[in-house]
């Protein structure tokens, strides 16, 4: 990749990933074909239209729905390759999928993995399997199958090194009836109301998003080495960058199973807090009490001299998952979350403003769609 010494205007596109063009191609070139497939099935197994801000629901009959999610670990895998440490990305692979499934209230049940690899590397394959197993345990799911594809010519890699891609597809079950029925009841986000509060659950770090940008900023031009100990991180950069994505399944399922009034669930993945606008209501989200930004995000922002608007639109900035609930329920939910070992706090409020805007008060950011705009840069204390 070409180097670029001027980072102040770095966007995701300049990091080699053209997100807007991808969204355009998806919307205009691909979705029309995929929508046509909705005609190919009626009755059992057919998608239920109009619901599913984090995945479509397939009708299983008997008031049950099946939810599917697929996601890889993206270029975080390159960090694992460079460090020859493969026992954490499997956790990310599980997390990226199950954290999406629970946004609909679905209980994840299983995940299939797909590994494309340039040749058989026993250590790498065992490390991945171990990580998948650890992630499956955290999520309470099984791994009943998977696929390994050896494709030596597909990968760009140095002689003698291992290159691979890791992807998962997870399935979950949700109850579509009024009653709780072994599996939790659908949370479709439609009940989110102005005045509801937004509880933010701490992320464990970068999770699995923004790695093209992060590698560009921190690693290109040998700015930092992966084995470099960084004081403010309290560990090496490589260790920080391989920190597994936190899995929110067990605490969220526990809250759902206890019948607490939960109006919306949002996985803060690629796009950061802008994911709040995926909730299917015409409200806005005012983040007025964001916890301190963890050191890794500060390091990325400072090193890349990146504007707040760029980092907040690409990274989770310390919040990995959001729960929207009535304000009267916040304290009891926070107590329960704490009992599950989660670090959680009320970070914001739902407002009646239309347009699905996400406002980060302290940084003067107003976001919608895929980007933030800075409205009062001087207020930024980062």
Q: What residues from 137 to 176 belong to the interface with its own copies (CB under 8 A)? A: 137, 139-157, 163, 165, 167, 169, 171, 173
Query: Which residue of 10, 11, 17, 253 would you call a contact of its own copies, by CB under 8 A?
Result: 17
Q: Residue 378 region, left (φ>0) first, then alpha (ψ -120 to 50), else beta?
A: alpha
Identify the residue whose tokens are 């099935």. 41
Query: Which residue of 2, 182, 231, 341 would you call a contact of its own copies, by CB under 8 A?
Result: 182
Query: Which residue of 9, 38, 84, 259 would you call a contact of its own copies, by CB under 8 A?
Result: 38
| Shortest distance in whole angstroms from residue 378 CB to its own copies | 35
**The token pair that represents 182 in the structure block:** 């072994």
For residues 141 and 74, the answer to whether their CB atoms sit within 8 Å is no
Q: Is 226 in the site for its own copies (CB under 8 A)?
A: no
**How far, in Å, CA of 78 to CA of 215, rounded?**
9
For residues 299 and 232, the answer to whether their CB atoms sit within 8 Å is yes
- Name every residue whose Cβ is closer than 8 Å to that of residue 11 and which is 6 or more positions away in sequence: 310
Q: Are strands 107-117 and 142-150 parallel, antiparallel or unpaired?
A: parallel
Query: Which residue of 116, 202, 332, 382 would you call a contact of its own copies, by CB under 8 A?
Result: 116
CA neighbor of 291 nearest in space, from 167, 198, 168: 198
Q: Is 25 in the site for its own copies (CB under 8 A)?
A: yes
Part of the chain binding its own copies (CB under 8 A), chosen from 20-28, 199-207, 234-242, 310-318: 20-28
Query: Which residue of 4, 9, 16, 355 would you call a contact of its own copies, by CB under 8 A?
Result: 16
Q: Segment 349-378, which members bind its own copies (CB under 8 A)?
A: none
| Shortest distance in whole angstroms from residue 158 CB to its own copies | 11
Burial 42-66 (b: 16+ CB within 10 A, else e): eeeeebeeebbbbbbbbbeeeebbb
| Shortest distance in whole angstroms from residue 68 CB to its own copies | 5
Q: Is 334 in the site for its own copies (CB under 8 A)?
A: no
| Shortest distance in whole angstroms from residue 312 CB to its own copies | 21
In the complex with its own copies, which residue's Cβ is closer, 106 or 233?
A: 106
Query: Which residue of 9, 22, 228, 305 would you call a contact of its own copies, by CB under 8 A?
Result: 22
Cα(first)–Cα(last) distance of the chain, in Å? Answer: 29
Query: Which residue of 89, 95, 183, 290 would you call a contact of its own copies, by CB under 8 A?
Result: 183
Tally of residues, the chain:
382
CA neighbor of 73 nearest in space, from 150, 165, 154: 165
Query: Which residue of 7, 14, 46, 193 would you call a contact of its own copies, by CB under 8 A?
Result: 46
Residue 183, strand partner residues = 181
Part of the chain binding its own copies (CB under 8 A), chosen from 53-61, 196-204, 274-282, 315-323: 53-61
Burial 309-329 (b: 16+ CB within 10 A, else e): bbbbbbbbbbbbbbbbbbeeb
Which whole-number Å values give the CA distances from 158 to 2, 86, 242, in the listed order?
18, 18, 21
Q: Is 107 in the site for its own copies (CB under 8 A)?
A: yes
Q: Is 41 in the site for its own copies (CB under 8 A)?
A: yes
In the complex with its own copies, which residue's Cβ is closer, 22 or 228?
A: 22
| Shortest distance in whole angstroms from residue 267 CB to its own copies | 14
Q: Segment 205-224, which members bind its own copies (CB under 8 A)?
A: 212
**How far, in Å, CA of 195 to CA of 111, rounded?**
37
**How far, in Å, CA of 275 to CA of 269, rounded?**
7
**How far, in Å, CA of 97 to CA of 247, rounded?**
10
| Shortest distance in whole angstroms from residue 147 CB to its own copies | 5
Part of the chain binding its own copies (CB under 8 A), chosen from 114-122, 198-206, 280-288, 357-365: 114-122
| Shortest distance in whole angstroms from residue 36 CB to its own copies | 5
């Amino acid at each position: 990749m070409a180097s670029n010494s001027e980072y102040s205007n770095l966007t995701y596109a300049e990091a080699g990933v053209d997100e807007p063009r991808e969204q355009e191609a998806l919307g205009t070139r691909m979705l029309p074909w995929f929508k046509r497939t909705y005609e190919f099935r009626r009755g059992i197994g057919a998608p239920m239209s109009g619901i599913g801000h984090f995945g479509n629901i397939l009708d299983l009959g008997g008031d049950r729905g099946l939810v599917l999610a697929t996601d890889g670990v993206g270029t975080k895998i390159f960090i694992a390759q460079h460090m020859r440490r493969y026992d954490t990305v499997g956790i990310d692979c599980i997390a990226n999928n199950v954290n999406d499934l629970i946004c609909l209230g679905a209980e994840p049940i299983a995940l299939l993995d797909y590994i494309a690899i340039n040749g058989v590397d026993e250590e790498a394959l065992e490390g991945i399997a171990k990580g998948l197993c650890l992630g499956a345990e955290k999520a309470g799911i099984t791994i009943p199958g998977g696929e390994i594809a050896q494709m030596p010519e597909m990968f760009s890699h140095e002689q003698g090194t291992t290159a691979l891609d890791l992807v998962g597809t997870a399935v979950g079950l949700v109850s579509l009836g009024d009653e709780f029925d072994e599996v939790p009841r659908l949370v479709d986000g439609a009940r989110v109301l102005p005045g509801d509060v937004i509880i933010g659950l701490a992320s464990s770090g970068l999770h699995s998003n923004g790695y093209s940008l992060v590698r560009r900023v921190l690693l290109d031009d040998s700015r930092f080495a992966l084995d470099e100990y960084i004081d403010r991180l309290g560990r090496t950069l490589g260790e920080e960058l391989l920190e597994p994505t936190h899995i929110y399944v067990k605490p969220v399922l526990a809250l759902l199973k206890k019948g607490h009034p939960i109006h919306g669930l949002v996985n803060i993945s690629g796009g950061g807090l802008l994911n709040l606008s995926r909730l299917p209501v015409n409200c806005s989200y005012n983040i007025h009490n964001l916890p301190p930004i963890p050191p890794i995000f500060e390091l990325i922002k400072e090193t890349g001299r990146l504007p707040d608007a760029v980092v907040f639109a690409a990274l989770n900035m310390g919040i990995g998952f959001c729960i929207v609930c009535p304000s009267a329920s916040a304290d009891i939910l926070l107590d329960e979350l704490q009992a599950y070992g989660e670090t959680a706090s009320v970070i914001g409020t739902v407002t009646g403003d239309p347009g699905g805007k996400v406002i980060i008060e302290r940084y003067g950011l107003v976001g919608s769609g895929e980007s933030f705009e800075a409205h009062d840069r001087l207020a930024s204390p980062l």
